[in-house]
Chain A
Amino acid sequence: MKKTLAAAVAALAMAAGPAAAQEKVVKIGVPLPLTGAEAKFGEMEKQAYEMAAEEINAKGGVKGHKISFDIQDSGGKAETATAIVEKFVTINKYPFVVGEYTSQCSYSVAAVAEKYKVPYLVVTGAADKITQQGWKYVYRLNPPASLYNLGVFSFFETVAKPKTIAILYENTDFGNSTSKAMKEYCKAHGIKIVLDEGYQAGAVDFKPILQKVKSERPDIVYMVSYLMDASLLMRQSKELDINPQAFIGGGAGHTLPEFLQNAAEASEYCMSATLWTPQVKYPGAKEFFDKFKAKFGKEPDYHGVEAYAAAYVTADTLKRAKEWTPEAIRTALAATDLMTAFGPIKFVSWDQFTNQNRMETLVLQVQKKKYETIWPKEASSAKYVYPAPKWRDRK
């Protein structure tokens, strides 16, 4: 114990560095994809972490220390993320690791954190399996992918009552988890799955598979895509004149501000599961959105607010931790009960999940080229349009 303590003290001293001798700094390791296909999200999250750190430090920091996030580029590659975290833990001796973006990377980082017994807060990686391993040092701020659809399910039960569905999903941990939950729900509720296809992200032409969707005439076309595939899917659906009652996305790609620009009129009336919109009633949500937009000149989506909330959870944990060792930080993290701009954060365990935050999810719909929250009703900012008008009847 003495040894770990000494190591932690040494780590803090080292992290502070000679330049900041008078000003004490506590550093937290954050791997993020700053280059590669997911760089856009990495950048957004980096800005959110830094914005939060500024705010926290302006209010006096943590126990007399300034908080600083040591953000390193993983390029969205699991091997690189693993190497970065190995370095954080063994060389930098950071007692706490936060972040990463994709499910694959988060999962790999979680395994490293567990191996070295260093607490790790998952911020956006959504694959169910990350918190289903019984890992003791892994905590997750965002809900697991299988729960992203809760809002959509309730919308189905109350309003849509669909009979048939076509499911297209990206072949990744996130796509598999989210679509699996949808498939199980459909089977349990007698909704016929007429098409169930995984696809490779980044394809240029989805028309062949959409042609197949069209021939099945489903009530709902449900798509899970992380990146810009979402907008190509919508544009090409419009082109092929596919007219289900609704197009519904499983979050991520369908909630990006770029989705509205790239898909343009093809995005109209498209719905999507989401975790957060600036219209939610949590304290600080709207302020975060406005401040981020003013500061960086672009709109954040739910990934930005997740990172922002993660920074506050980190500061809160460090404040409550008796000492800054992995063990003490883990104990403090487990006892988290904090209201953030993203929503209330509390880690619980149920079914196979451990140390998992649980929250309500929403449904949004593009109306007049803007995202509106349409479900649940109490949280809605506009009334849903269902069924969506046929492409040819629009204008």
Chain B
Amino acid sequence: MTPQLAGQIELFVQVVIAGLLLGGLYSLIGLGMSLIMGVMRIINLAHGELMMVAMYITFLLFSLIHMDPYLSLFVVLPALFLIGAALQKYLITPVMDVESVLPQNQVLLTVGIGMVLSNLAQMVFSADYKSVPVSYASKTIYWDVNVGGQTISLSFNFPFLVAFGIAIALGAALFLFLGKTDIGRMIRATAQDKRAAAIMGINTKRITYITFGLGAALVGAAGTLLAPVYYLYPAIGGPFTSKAFIITVLGGMGNIAGAVLGGVVLGLGESLGSVYISLGYKDAFGFIIFVLVLIFLPKGLLGKSSV
């Protein structure tokens, strides 16, 4: 094997690794939105802003008491769960109950919630860019592989690797929760048929609070995991909301396994596209995949909607 070919292989494998690791994070963002979509049938357009809130909590804990971002997951997850559940209980449910001209006005409400959150963040923290400068932010694990007589050196960024692992763990936990616990079964029943679930004696309102809380906690986890490798500012939510939306549609609205797949596909698509086509169109790839899936697989990559 020539060194040139080895170089090409190294580039390709490295890009695939980067895409997969990024995809893990994207999956976590998509999972939360997919869950909410499956149960409430609404798109939560404040999803990215909830992630922003989680990032600021992580930032605060780090800068005030120097809490490690990964440790702060134990604060962020419950906090975001409560915020999410409260939003659903006090804002979204009352709007859902009202008969209105616009059938989807809860969606508009989430846009408003998003604006309020990002403007609150700007009032409290100003528009400055903040960061969570942990010592291991650019820690990298190198792995040399021998392929046909040539050494290929692969690198894995430590925070991305951890984020990927935690994303997988949370995804698996969610599966178990939905499949094995009573509350999980109630959530699935509500997603399948809200009215029938209510007849069976399920308190569907309470289920919606829990679901929104869970969705918020999941995207909050993504925010916390992203904090060490990225930066934060009040308007950071917008682009991530649109990513979450793409992932949710890719995976089939409300399909949990689909959301994981959608996240990985988006991560890979962005990475490969940016190297082999053009980095300038990075965001366009997501949307191209999105449009193609809508046209050819309107029910998402996995084809069925099931929480």
The residue on A at minimum CB distance from B271 is: A208
Kindly state the separation between the CA atoms of A298 and B131 in the bound complex, as whole angstroms.
15
Kindly list chain B residues whose C-beta atoms are within 8 Å of the C-beta of A298: 128
In the complex, A212 Cα to B276 Cα: how many Å?
10
Q: Is A227 an interface residue (CB 8 A)?
A: yes
Comparing A19-27, A32-40, A78-86, A110-118, the segment that makes contact with chain B is A32-40
A269 to chain B, nearest CB (A): 16
Q: Is residue A171 within 8 Å, beta carbon to beta carbon, of the partner chain?
A: yes
Question: A58 vs B140: C-alpha distance in the bound complex, in angstroms?
Answer: 55
Nearest B residue to A41 via CB reads: B127
Contact of A39 among B122, B231, B271, B280 (CB under 8 A): B122
Q: What mask results when residues 212 to 238 of chain A are scored 1 for a CB within 8 Å of chain B, else 0?
A: 100100000000000110011001101
Q: Is B275 an interface residue (CB 8 A)?
A: yes
**CA gap between A349 and B239 in the complex, in Å:** 40
Those of B22-81 within 8 Å (CB) of chain A: 22, 25
A198 to B281, CA, bound (A): 9
Residues in chain B near residue A264, CB distance under 8 A: 133, 137
With beta carbons under 8 angstroms apart, the residue of A199, A212, A215 that contacts B282 is A199
B126 engages A43 (CB within 8 Å): yes
Contact A39 B133 (CB under 8 A): no
Q: Which residues of B contact A235 (CB under 8 A)?
A: 137-138
Picked from B122, B127, B129, B278, the residue with its CB within 8 Å of the CB of A197 is B278
Structural contact, B279 and A36, CB atoms closer than 8 A: no
Residue of A nearest to B127 (CB): A39
A212 to B157 CA separation, bound complex (whole angstroms) = 17
Chain B 84-139 interface residues, beta-carbon cutoff 8 Å to A: 118-119, 122, 126-131, 133, 137-138
Rounded to whole Å, the gap between the CB of B248 and the closest CB of chain A is 19
A353-365 to B contact mask, C-beta < 8 Å, 1/0: 0000000000000
Which of A200, A204, A227 lies in contact with B279, CB distance below 8 A?
A: A200
Given A40-B129, A207-B157, check contact A262 B283 (CB 8 Å). Answer: no
Counting CB contacts under 8 A, is A130 at the interface? no
Q: Chain A residues near B122: list those with CB within 8 A.
A: 35, 39
- Whether A215 contacts B278 in the complex (CB less than 8 A), given A35-B235, A238-B138, comes out as no
Indicate if the CB atoms of B281 and A34 lie closer than 8 Å: no
A205 touching B22, Cβ below 8 Å = yes
User: Nearest residue in B to A259 (C-beta to C-beta)?
Assistant: B129
Residues of B within 8 A of A (CB): 7, 10-11, 14-15, 18-19, 21-22, 25, 118-119, 122, 126-131, 133, 137-138, 140, 155, 157, 160, 226, 229-231, 233-236, 239, 270-272, 274-275, 278-283
Closest 9 CB pairs of A and B: A39-B127, A198-B280, A262-B131, A199-B279, A208-B275, A40-B127, A258-B129, A208-B15, A171-B280
What are 16 residue pairs bridging A and B, where the CB atoms are less than 8 Å apart in the complex? A36-B235, A39-B235, A40-B126, A43-B126, A197-B278, A198-B278, A198-B279, A199-B279, A199-B280, A200-B283, A203-B270, A203-B282, A211-B14, A258-B231, A261-B131, A262-B129
Contact residues of A with B, CB < 8 Å?
34-37, 39-40, 42-43, 168, 171, 197-200, 202-205, 207-209, 211-212, 215, 227-228, 231-232, 235-236, 238-240, 256, 258, 261-262, 264, 266, 298
